[in-house]
Copies of this chain bind each other. A is one copy, B any other.
Amino acid sequence: MTRKLQKATLADVAREAGVSMMTVSRVIHGTGRISEDTRQHVRQIIEKLEYRPNRAARTLVTKRTNMIAFVVPDITNPYFTEILQGVEEFFWREGYNVMLANSNENPEREKALLDQLESTMVDGVIVCASRLSDDELIPLIEKHAAIVTVNRNLPHHLGSVVTTLHPRGYRAVLAAKYLYETGRRRIGYVNLVRSISSVNLEMFMHELEDLNIAVNPSWYATCKPTWQAGYDTGKVLLAQHPELDAVIAGNDLVALGVMRAAVEQGLRIPQDLAIIGGDDILMASQVTPPLTTFRSDKYSIGTMAAELLLRRVEGDLTYYEHHYDDVLIIREST
């Protein structure tokens, strides 16, 4: 059994089958008028030669790659992975492949990625939790034919959007409200770094004042959305502010890092410190005590984003907006 070095081309199949290339092409696509006999015969030759269409050639003429890109800040974050799974599943069924573009929480890299992707490589892009400011992001995506963003608003003509039901950043306010109702009075907040984090924080303080909840800027910190960052930030925050009786974190990974830091400092959870996370990753329900957090059906977020992208890829440039429900799931960490 020798290894096939040269792949068969359409021309090879056509020659072997004694028909024109177009006939073979038509058989492959199931288009045009072909007699049943010819069809069968061509199919046999395709099998025999193990012909596989050359994607690049096809792309060159059709301008379609059947590939979409998923741009994400951190592929090890389970939140994004589950979304990705939804996206992958959806597009697999539709005959598309998914290219992964991991910016590794690095805005410069995200830019480079988005810029590269322009090279006729993908039919569309899903941008997940972009770390870029509008001023940076917009010029980069203007050139793409089809865009959908997750957790990020966009000028309507640029692409469709999947976001939370609650306005971005408002979840922390809900969390604070709940904590206040359960008797907590000094509430810390570990926000996630992103372009709009300062806006987030201001709104947070403003709303808390309206609710008559104690506000103290030094109780609030900002960190990267990783477990390690949450742990480091929690350590400092809790050491400097032993008066805190609750902490809200931007996402679960950070919340769990803070929880670890708290435990190491001898705090009992929830007796001494209540903790709330943000996206209900698997780990949140598995730690002791289980983490109170906001529900998010990540797989659905993925399929919704994929569906919206497919519409744009197929030429429907209407703006659509999907919202996913993110209610508070109360567990034993509060």
Which residues in A have some Cβ–Cβ distance to B below 8 Å?
3-4, 7, 50, 52-57, 59-60, 65, 67, 70, 75-76, 78, 81-82, 84-85, 88-89, 92, 97-102, 104, 109, 116, 118-121, 142-143, 227, 256, 260, 282-283, 286-288
In the assembly, what is the distance between CA of A115 and CA of B21, in Å? Answer: 23
Q: Is the CB of B88 within 8 A of A81?
A: no
Q: Is the CB of B227 within 8 A of A282?
A: yes
In the assembly, what is the distance between CA of A283 and CA of B259, in Å? Answer: 13
Q: Is the CB of B119 within 8 A of A102?
A: no
For the A-B complex with A7-B120, A67-B99 known, give 20 more contacts whose Cβ atoms are closer than 8 Å: A3-B142, A53-B119, A55-B56, A55-B119, A56-B59, A56-B60, A76-B78, A76-B81, A76-B82, A85-B104, A89-B104, A92-B109, A97-B101, A97-B116, A97-B121, A227-B286, A283-B283, A283-B286, A287-B288, A288-B288
In the assembly, what is the distance between CA of A119 and CA of B76, in Å? Answer: 29
Could you say how many copies of this chain the assembly holds? 2
In the assembly, what is the distance between CA of A75 and CA of B83, in Å? Answer: 10
Question: In whole Å, how far is A246's beta carbon from the nearest beta carbon of chain B?
Answer: 20
Of the candidates B52, B56, B70, the one whose C-beta lies within 8 Å of that of A65 is: B56
Question: In whole Å, how far is A231's beta carbon from the nearest beta carbon of chain B?
Answer: 10
**Which residues does chain B contribute within 8 Å of A286, judged by CB atoms?**
227, 256, 260, 283, 287
**Which residues does chain B contribute within 8 Å of A143, judged by CB atoms?**
3-4, 50
Q: Is the CB of A54 within 8 A of B119?
A: yes
Closest B residue to A104 by CB, please name it: B89
**Which residues does chain B contribute within 8 Å of A97, judged by CB atoms?**
99, 101, 116, 121
**Which residues does chain B contribute within 8 Å of A85, judged by CB atoms?**
75-76, 102, 104
**Which residues does chain B contribute within 8 Å of A59, judged by CB atoms?**
56
Among A4, A52, A65, A76, max chain B CB count under 10 A is at A76
Question: In whole Å, how far is A97's beta carbon from the nearest beta carbon of chain B?
Answer: 6
**Which residues does chain B contribute within 8 Å of A82, judged by CB atoms?**
76
Of the candidates B54, B92, B98, B109, the one whose C-beta lies within 8 Å of that of A99 is: B98
In the assembly, what is the distance between CA of A250 and CA of B7, in Å? Answer: 40
Closest B residue to A76 by CB, please name it: B81
* Given A75-B85, A81-B76, A99-B99: A120 and B54 interface contact (C-beta under 8 Å): yes
Closest B residue to A143 by CB, please name it: B4
**Which residues does chain B contribute within 8 Å of A120, judged by CB atoms?**
7, 52, 54-56
| CB<8 Å pairs between A and B, sample of 26 | A3-B143, A4-B143, A7-B120, A54-B119, A56-B56, A56-B59, A56-B60, A60-B60, A67-B99, A75-B88, A76-B78, A76-B81, A76-B82, A78-B81, A84-B100, A88-B100, A92-B102, A97-B99, A97-B101, A97-B121, A99-B99, A99-B100, A227-B282, A227-B286, A260-B286, A288-B288
